[in-house]
Amino acid sequence: YFYLFFFSSAPAFSFIYISGSVEIPNLTYTNDLNDPTSQKFLLQAKAVQNYLAEIYEPSFLGKYYLKSVVAAFSEGESGLRAYFWNTFWAP
């Protein structure tokens, strides 16, 4: 008997987290954006997350991009600042 085993190992993938912030000049910070359970926070976070997805998905990183999550807001120099982290699944 003759057995042939062929092992192919795919590249190891890992979760990669990248954090950052973006300033949105046409919006202003209000105190209800300090509460992550407030309706305003949730709506604004969703809008920023959708914006980030629109940037990443068509890019060369799109095949690795999983999601973006807004963690906080603050007053920026010329508008609203959103703090976020992105998740990628990449080799």
Which domains does the chain carry?
14-90 (3.30.70.960)
The string of pLDDT tens digits covering residues 10-56 is 678 899 999 999 999 999 999 999 999 999 999 999 999 999 999 99
pLDDT exceeds cutoff 80 at 1 = no
Burial class (CB in 10 A: 0-12, 13-18, 19+), 38: middle
